[in-house]
Amino acid sequence: MGQSNFEQSPELTAIAIAYQNPAIALINEQTLPVVGVGRTDFSYSKYADDHALYTLPRMKTAPTSKVNRIQLASSRLNDSTYDNALSMPLSFYDSNRPADEPIKPEQAATEFLSGLVRLQREVEVAALVFDADSYATGCKEELTGANQFDETTSVPLRVISDGLAAPLVRPNRLIFGPKTWKYFRTHADVVAAVLGNSGTKGLASREAVAQLFEVEMVLVGQGWVNTALPGATPVMTRVWGNHIAAVYFDQAAARVGGMTFGATFRYGNFIAGTLPDPEMGLRGGQLVKVGESICPKIVASSAGYFWENAVDP
């Protein structure tokens, strides 16, 4: 591999890793665990949608007989990470401001770029998790009309309970889009169940809903993304749509190839640094660059359940 002029900065990398945008709740790492891989091209286990994991083969063996052999229920697939990266130019004058100025251009650029790169990962994970094609047959349903949770005729407690019982591995996390969560947490049946009242007053908390359905966590994706082309009038859209997903999340299983709904495979760390640009302006400048090498994948489609259009768009 050739020598790169890109100089990774420990200080800027630390800012990029620690960066959190308080105005946007990004939940992708709590939905598809980040799993480190040692190469940009990697292999992973993908579990079949059949019942091989639960079908007991012949095990009783005579003392002198051969032990029954079976094949692993998963297949080994190959893939590769791709780079999500952005850079921002800083002129000679930006980079040589007085040391006592409160605003550090390199740090400010790193924070801004980090937010966009992380938002890109959020968009990619949401597109996978809120896609009916990511789920096995029998592990998804579309809610319509009177069954949608913004209708008083709906029965969300039964719908969610039935869905959680359908996958081969019971999901341990519920993921809501913001509009879906708004109607779900105010639904009379849900409020009555968690608050013990008539259901006409109050809001159900995430913690109470998690306890109600016996899952580890309830997540609500609050992120926004502008879907308009650069320069056009902004079109602000929620990253997580009007759906609900239930997934089985296991950080340890993802690392060793065990059962988990999905994972975000990442080569190396989230990095940031600078690259000199002698062609910039009269005195040259530098580019601040931030990025990561990732590949989100669904590895066990039968370890999740999807409710499409849980509320009316």
Please determine, for residue 310, whether its predicted confidence score (pLDDT) is greater than 60.
yes
- Per-residue pLDDT band for 11 (boundaries 50, 70, 90) equals low
The pLDDT assigned to 258 comes to: 65
Q: What is the mean pLDDT of the chain?
A: 87
Distance CA 159, CA 176 (A): 14
Q: Are 218 and 174 in contact (CB under 8 A)?
A: yes
- Give me 124's structure tokens: 């990619």
- Rounded to the nearest angstrom, the gap between the alpha carbon of residue 199 and the centroid of all alpha carbons in its chain is 32
Q: Which of 121, 99, 106, 88 is CA-nearest to residue 21?
A: 121
How confident is the model over 139-166, as a mean pLDDT? 97
Residue 52: alpha-carbon gap to chain centroid: 28
- Residue 75 has a pLDDT of 72
> Which of the four pLDDT bands, split at 50, 70 and 90, describes residue 4?
low
Domains along the chain with CATH numbers? 7-47+78-308 (3.90.1690.10)
Mapping DSSP onto H, E and C, the string for 89-154 reads EEEHHHHCCCCCCCCCHHHHHHHHHHHHHHHHHHHHHHHHHCCHHHCCCCCEEECCHHHCCCCCCC
Query: How far is the C-alpha of 288 from the C-alpha of 11, rounded, in Å?
Result: 12
Which range (34-43, 164-173, 290-299) has the least confidence?
34-43
Tokens at residue 224, please? 């926004």
Distance CA 51, CA 168 (A): 8
Given pLDDT bands bounded at 50, 70 and 90, which one contains residue 129? very high
What pLDDT is recorded for position 5? 59
Q: What is the mean pLDDT of residues 293-301?
A: 94
- Banded model confidence at residue 53, pLDDT cuts 50, 70, 90: low
Mean pLDDT of 83-102: 83
Q: In the numeric block, which tokens belong to residue 29?
A: 């790492």
Give percent of the chain above pLDDT 70.
84
Identify the residue whose tokens are 């051969």. Answer: 66
Minimal CA–CA distance to 12: which of 110, 87, 141, 139? 110
How far is it, in rounded angstroms, from Cα 182 to Cα 204? Answer: 10
Q: Is the pLDDT of residue 99 over 50?
A: yes
Global pTM? 0.86
Do the Cβ atoms of 218 and 209 come closer than 8 Å? yes
Q: Which of 35, 11, 22, 2 is nearest to 271 (CA)?
A: 11
Mean pLDDT of 122-145: 97
pLDDT score recorded for residue 25: 72
Determine if residue 245 is left, alpha or beta; phi over 0 gives left, psi from -120 to 50 gives alpha, anything else beta: beta
CA distance 143 to 10: 49
Per-residue pLDDT of 109-120, as tens digits, reads 888 899 899 999
**Predicted pLDDT at 1:** 45
Query: Does the structure show a pLDDT above 90 at 253?
Result: no
Distant-in-sequence, close-in-space partners of 168: CB < 8 Å, separation ≥ 6: 51, 53, 54, 302, 303
- Amino acid letter, 203: L
Which of the given ranges, 16-20, 96-100, 151-155, 198-202, has the highest pLDDT on average? 151-155
